[in-house]
Structure 1
Amino acid sequence: MPRDALSRDQIIQSAVDLLDAEGLDGLNMRALGQRLGVAPTAVYWHVKNKDDLVTLAGDRVWTEIAPPDPEGTGWRAAATAMATDLHAMFSRHPWLVQAFGTHLFYGEGKARYDDNSLAVFEAGGFTGAAADQAAGMMFTFVLGNVLGAAATTTLTRRLTRSGRDAEEEIAGAVAAATAIAQRFPRLRARLDTAATAYDAAPAQTFETGLRVLLAGLESERDRGRMES
């Protein structure tokens, strides 16, 4: 592809695809140029560096979250749908979860998500700082629920790139943790459950936790315990 036929939009979308396939460590201008069919130097006509590209790719994926409709469905249903979409987006792009610790993300996509999130809670009667708190709690709850899976994906790629058997090493760590858990009665009683897998959680943890969170926020609002 000639340099003058290459667009910034194409570069950002190809970066998202490469990040999904290879993670943060797999993104570089050479690999991206190969994916686009151009010399790596052609990419620099549109983006400054890798960090700039990660920021742009990170902002792009926020557009995958559907705008909520609190007036049509009610604020709790809208908040549930938005949180579920956010969880799915993070799950599709585990590199974004990892990149929160190394990059500053901003842009129109993220701003639109934040604005929509505030609109949902304002529709639910949360005003001022209370809306900010509610939106922040929902975001951190969702992020916390995807950390395990994102970490497993990152770990597996790192071990594989170093020539090690990721499945074997994770299984070894689980076996060692299981041996330790035998010494603790509450952990020992749960060793036969599905939650003992490396990044597992009890069934319906996300759905139940989200329902409890929203119910708790509603209760705190009704009691006047949230800042406004």
Structure 2
Amino acid sequence: MPVDPRERRAARHAQPAAVPAQQKRRKEPITVDRITDAALEVVATQGYDALTMRSVAAVLDTGPASLYAHVVNKADIDELIIGRLCSQLVLPKPDPASWQEQIRHVCAQARDQFLKYPGISRAALAMAATDLDVLRVNEGMLAILLAGRIGPQTAAWAIDALWLYVCAYALEHSLVPQADDWVVSREELVHRFAALPADQFPQTRRYAFQLTAGMGHERFDFTLNLMIGNLR
């Protein structure tokens, strides 16, 4: 009797799944790991909007029905791909003396993982944290904040707020290439601000340079420092 995909999902949350020896000998079987690989390939090459059961099946050269023996639905794939990205994050041993630097580093790692796959942070925003790899990161972040003498409730909400910001930042970056027809250069934006009516926008005109400043991840670092620096 086929195993219910929901049971497979529950088993993944309970303990690492072991691949039977007989299955290992089979040539390129459809597995959860291959489905996850294929899903990440779709997002990397076509963007998150293209991620469907059908598009994943196409990468694996099979039909969508073949996937349902291993995953419940598209939401299950979302959970798998975010879990895979979280498994790449390196969590430090909590150090009370450097807890702020440690939590910033974890967030920066998550940001960089999300930026590799356009729009993938939408999957993280929409899911509940039940995947073991996601929970591992939450556990590590919680341990870091507690080591920094942050209260448990503040630490819990801080993790949620930090994740939301990391996801939103990565999502914004993924949307910029889609808006090439209207996004203007910084120079053009400063010029437009400076040309605004002085009686209505005196501060915007005066601080146009500051309003448009920020290279690389400077704005990300600023916001992260603002959030972390005020936890106490």
Question: TM-score, normalised on structure 1?
Answer: 0.71
Matched-pair identity in %: 21
Q: Do the aligned partners of 2:95 and 2:148 also contact (CA within 8 Å) in 1?
A: no
The match for 1:205 is: 219
Residue 186 in 1 paired to residue 199 in 2?
A: no
Distance 1:139 1:58, change over 3 A: closer
Could you tell me which amino acid in structure 2 is paired with residue 213 of structure 1? M
SS at match of 1:31: helix
- How far off is 1:15 after superposition? 0.6
- Higher helix proportion (structure 1 or 2): 1
Separation (CA, whole Å) in 2 of partners of 1:142 and 1:12: 22
Aligned with 1:29 (options 53, 67, 72): 53
Could you tell me which amino acid in structure 1 is paired with residue 214 of structure 2? P
Deviates more, 1:139-148 or 1:40-49: 139-148
- How far off is 1:134 after superposition? 3.3
Could you tell me which amino acid in structure 1 is paired with residue 54 of structure 2? R
Separation (CA, whole Å) in 2 of partners of 1:216 and 1:89: 26
- How far off is 1:193 after superposition? 6.9
- How far off is 1:123 after superposition? 1.0
Residue 120 in 1 paired to residue 144 in 2?
A: yes
Deviations 1:116-155 (A, max 9, x none): 01000111112321322333343334344334213325xx
Residue 216 in 1 paired to residue 230 in 2?
A: yes
The match for 1:140 is: 164
The match for 1:168 is: 181
> Which runs of no fewer than 5 residues in structure 2 stay unpaired?
1-25
SS at match of 2:119: helix
Distance 1:170 1:112, change over 3 A: same
SS at match of 2:158: helix
Aligned with 2:73 (options 49, 63, 80): 49
Q: Do the aligned partners of 1:62 and 1:110 also contact (CA within 8 Å) in 2?
A: yes
Distance 1:42 1:99, change over 3 A: same
Question: TM-score, normalised on structure 2?
Answer: 0.70
Q: Do the aligned partners of 1:76 and 1:214 also contact (CA within 8 Å) in 2?
A: yes
The match for 1:163 is: none
- How far off is 1:72 after superposition? 8.9
Aligned residues: 200
Separation (CA, whole Å) in 1 of partners of 2:168 and 2:33: 30
Q: Do the aligned partners of 2:125 and 2:164 also contact (CA within 8 Å) in 1?
A: no
Distance 1:177 1:30, change over 3 A: farther
Deviates more, 1:42-51 or 1:137-146: 137-146
Separation (CA, whole Å) in 1 of partners of 2:175 and 2:35: 26
> Which runs of no fewer than 5 residues in structure 1 stay unpaired?
157-165, 196-200, 221-228
Separation (CA, whole Å) in 1 of partners of 2:87 and 2:71: 20
Distance 1:103 1:126, change over 3 A: closer
Deviates more, 1:9-18 or 1:177-186: 177-186
SS at match of 2:86: helix
Structural RMSD (CA): 3.4
Separation (CA, whole Å) in 2 of partners of 1:176 and 1:192: 9
